[in-house]
A and B are shown apart, each in its own frame.
Chain A
Amino acid sequence: MPRASPVWRRYLAWGGGTSSYQEIEETDCILLWGSNARETHPIFFHHLLAGLKRGAKLYAIDPRRTATAQWAEVWAGLDVGTDIALSNTMAREIIASGLANREFIDHATTGFEAYRDLVEPWTLERGAAETGVPAAVIREMAHTFATARRAIICWTLGITEHHTAVDNVMSLINLALLTGHVGRWGSGLNPLRGQNNVQGGGDMGALPDRLPGFQHVENDAVRAKFDAFYGVTVPPKKGWHLSDMFNAMDRGELRALYVIGENPVQSEADQHRATRLLEGLELLVVQDIFLTETARRADVVFPAAAGAFESAGTFTNSERRVQRVRKTLDPPGEAREDLAIICDLARRLGHDWTPDAEVIWNEVRQLSPVHAGMSYARLDQHSGLQWPCYDDQHPGELFLHGRLWERPVRGPRAPFSLVKHELPLDQLNAEFPLRLTTGRRLAEYNTGVQTGSYASPTRRGAVVAPVHVDQGLRPGLTFMTFHFPDDVATNMLTSDATDPLVSTAEFKATAVRIERA
């Protein structure tokens, strides 16, 4: 399953979108990069439409002319996997035109000179040749973005489901730093998370190197706090990413796996390999609301309650708003809330934990400074609060990184990153001449719950699926959803090349050919 990769926290320190939905209504320029938000984030798009009505300009950067692109000033239809080439070209144009925000750069950033040298060769002509986006369009986007009073960059999985996921994100951060479009009202950088509570999972430390509240597990002071609170010793080393785990399975180092609410047999890129590795485990435990293809291969299955309707707790959304989730239904049959299952498991292992969401939340508040002020009572009162929220009086922060504009800068400066353009690993050639990209449609969602048949082979496998001609796709580009894995196992085709830092797989760039089935 695609995972958003809040890696960019490494460079701006927080793993969350910097702006609020309200700000997108009051900004002047929006770069929507690799995101078909009209279909994938419909209610966020309402806020964006309000911004357009106020006069904001929208640029849709996407290989496909999506429903989102119809609302854009200009659709920049770039070739799959050329995002860095495009952003570096925009940066070069901004610098060459004297539109860089030198005051902000000098005041709040580091590494500008090296960055300038890196992007220097990326002239409009070279960028246009590499990306397929006309030079005039790149120039217009660069100029509008740089000269806008307020500007926001948003992205989704079109940026992150590449083997260069981290570099892609960093290249966008570079654009914001270059123009000072971060840390101010109406200016910021916002990943739109593909799945509910991706943000919350990160907040709570469901990352290999983090404890709750983005506190680094290898930071001794942080760990000491947790050790003291729980009376145990937190392991001092960061853990494995998902792809690290599969590699560890391959090496025989990882022999038992507890999977909660994921379906890697169908959602991982390169399904053949994933299935083989999972089947080779000594112990596979799956906790899910459905008997998924992964669960079918498990030694033990815990039937779980549905997160939103049958459990209590909190979710965090794409504007960092922590929101209360309330139980509305009793789970069916023997299904139980995740919390109850985990606490029972803990009890068997000798720990008497209270299976109560509010009690656990209050533990979080004691250990994570950015969540400290969010009592359930306040979350109810304010319809959720945005972190950081340091104490009971704190209203939560609408946007992050205002510190970069303070004089002097509070905390460390923000570094430019030197990111280079690399093409997708699954390269096109005479045998596989077409690019396949994947995505979600409005009325469907992931692998949960349809015109002549053609076979579509790749280097990893082949599927048979109906084909139709889409005016929204540029020549050489094909598109499939991954919603119906039982009918068409799209992920049989996709590449499991991953980003070295965060292990998001390159779902968005597969080389294919199409033949009559």
Chain B
Amino acid sequence: MSHDEISFHLPPPATAIPAPPPQPAPTMVPLTIDGRAIEVAAGSTLIDACKTLDITIPTLCYLETLTPVNACRVCVVEVEGARVLAPACSRQVEAGMVVQSRSARVDLSRKVVLELLGSSVDLSTAPGLSEMMAEYGARPERFQEVIGSASAVSSVAKPIKIDNDLYVRDYGKCVLCYKCVEACGTDAQHTFAIAVAGRGFNAHISTELDVPLPDSACVYCGNCIAVCPTGALMATPEFELRKAGEWRPETQAVTDTICPYCDVGCTLTVHVQDQQIVKVTSPFDNDVTRGNLCVKGRFGFEYVNK
């Protein structure tokens, strides 16, 4: 190997630090939220605008990494002059908008929406839902009190689907937020193993022809589990531990590490309970993964569990 080779000395650093091409400065749009005037970039949603003012908007079907489907309607806000309330998750800001993030109309809609869900769906494993219910004074039991018998109040309860070793589908807990469909489809995985089938109250998440997962296009990336807001989709270890009454998140050590398989470098957030890995997720704000993993990263840890 001769010493004049290009590799023999490290090349000098570039004069300028490499950067993406500059973006034109965004047009700013003025609007008023809860009496406070702000300007945000054109194309922002009302929820983005609220964030800049530290106004928290409750959400179920919204996630930064997914296209808003505005299906759950708990994020509705009042836009002055509009006939109906607007979903903050998807409505884009317009110049001169006057928005109320809380009002009697807003609170009533949020309360009723939560009551409709609470009376039809098992929300027992949905993080944050009981706090949300308390905040809006939602009492899902009102329907049963008025209608009389529990059986006359329809629910989406159905048998739990356990048809593979990696995760469990309990659609009695499904609020039909569409997040799993989006994560399986064009917002991340592009596998299209699931879609919404049926209509109205019978609408439900389904594989093609309702076949079991192993017969479907599913590749077990578990990106649907990651976005599920209610625990309707749950990895098997968590499901088994909950069933045994041994799921103790408060005792779990949660640590970020890097996936040991290919060299893409996905951050794994590892949840350990009693020296066992019980769950693997990835942060949604991670530039490499955006919360997504593949089957190996999400489920390929059994070899280190005892």
Contact = CB atoms under 8 A, between A and B. Distances in A.
A238 B1 CA distance: 10
Nearest 8 A/B pairs, CB to CB: A317-B265, A193-B263, A308-B260, A42-B294, A411-B11, A402-B14, A328-B270, A328-B255
Given A46-B290, A194-B262, A410-B15, 15 more contacts: A13-B10, A14-B11, A53-B186, A194-B263, A195-B263, A315-B263, A319-B288, A321-B265, A326-B256, A328-B270, A329-B275, A329-B304, A332-B306, A399-B18, A403-B13
Given A308-B258, A309-B301, A328 B277 contact: yes
B152 interface: no
A133 to B, nearest CB: 26
A13 B286 contact: no
Interface string B158-190: 000000000000000000000000000010111
A214 interface: yes
A318 B189 CA distance: 20
Contacts of A318: 263-265
B183 to A, nearest CB: 11
A432 interface: no
Interface size classification for chain A: 35 or more
A307 interface: yes
Interface string B237-274: 00000000000000001011111111111111010100
Contact of A442 (B5, B14, B219, B265): B219
Contact of B261 (A49, A196, A218): A196
Interface of B: 1, 3, 5-21, 186, 188-190, 219-221, 253, 255-268, 270, 272, 275, 277, 286-290, 292-297, 300-301, 303-304, 306
Main secondary structure of the interface of A (DSSP, over half): loop
Contact of B296 (A327, A400, A410, A445): A445
A410 B16 CA distance: 11
Contacts of A196: 258-263, 265
Contact of A306 (B19, B260, B289): B260
A410 B12 contact: yes
Interface in A145-204: 185, 192-199
13 contacts: A21-B288, A41-B264, A44-B264, A197-B263, A315-B263, A324-B256, A326-B256, A328-B255, A388-B13, A397-B17, A403-B15, A443-B295, A445-B296
Contacts of A383: 267, 286-288
Contacts of A461: none
B287 A22 contact: yes
A22 B21 CA distance: 13
Contacts of A325: 257-258
A416 to B, nearest CB: 12
Given A13-B11, A46-B189, A330-B275, A310 B265 contact: no
A289 B306 CA distance: 13
Contacts of A57: none
A296 interface: no
Nearest to A310: B304
Contact of B265 (A40, A309, A323): A323
Given A46-B189, A315-B265, A328-B272, A309 B260 contact: yes
Contacts of A214: 7, 10
A394 B17 contact: yes
Given A323-B267, A406-B14, A443 B288 contact: no
Interface in A357-412: 369-370, 383-384, 388, 390, 394-395, 397-403, 406, 410-412
Most buried by A among B8, B255, B268, B290: B8
A516 interface: no
Contacts of A213: 10
Given A10-B5, A13-B7, A406-B14, A309 B221 contact: no
Interface of A: 9-14, 21-23, 26, 40-44, 46, 49, 53, 71, 185, 192-199, 209, 213-216, 218-219, 238, 289, 306-310, 315-319, 321, 323-330, 332, 369-370, 383-384, 388, 390, 394-395, 397-403, 406, 410-412, 414-415, 442-443, 445, 448-449
Nearest to A382: B287
B258 A324 contact: yes
A10 B9 contact: no
A303 B268 CA distance: 24
B268 A308 contact: yes
Contact of A9 (B1, B7, B188, B294): B7
Nearest to A12: B6
A10 to B, nearest CB: 4
B293 A43 contact: yes
Contacts of B186: 53
A40 B262 contact: yes
Contacts of B265: 196, 315-319, 321, 323, 384
B257 A308 contact: yes
Contacts of A9: 7
Contacts of B303: 289, 306, 448-449
A307 B301 CA distance: 12
A309 B257 contact: yes
Contacts of A289: 303
Nearest to A67: B219
Contact of A43 (B19, B255, B288): B288
A29 to B, nearest CB: 17
Given A318-B265, A328-B253, A328-B272, A370 B295 contact: no
B280 to A, nearest CB: 10
A47 to B, nearest CB: 9
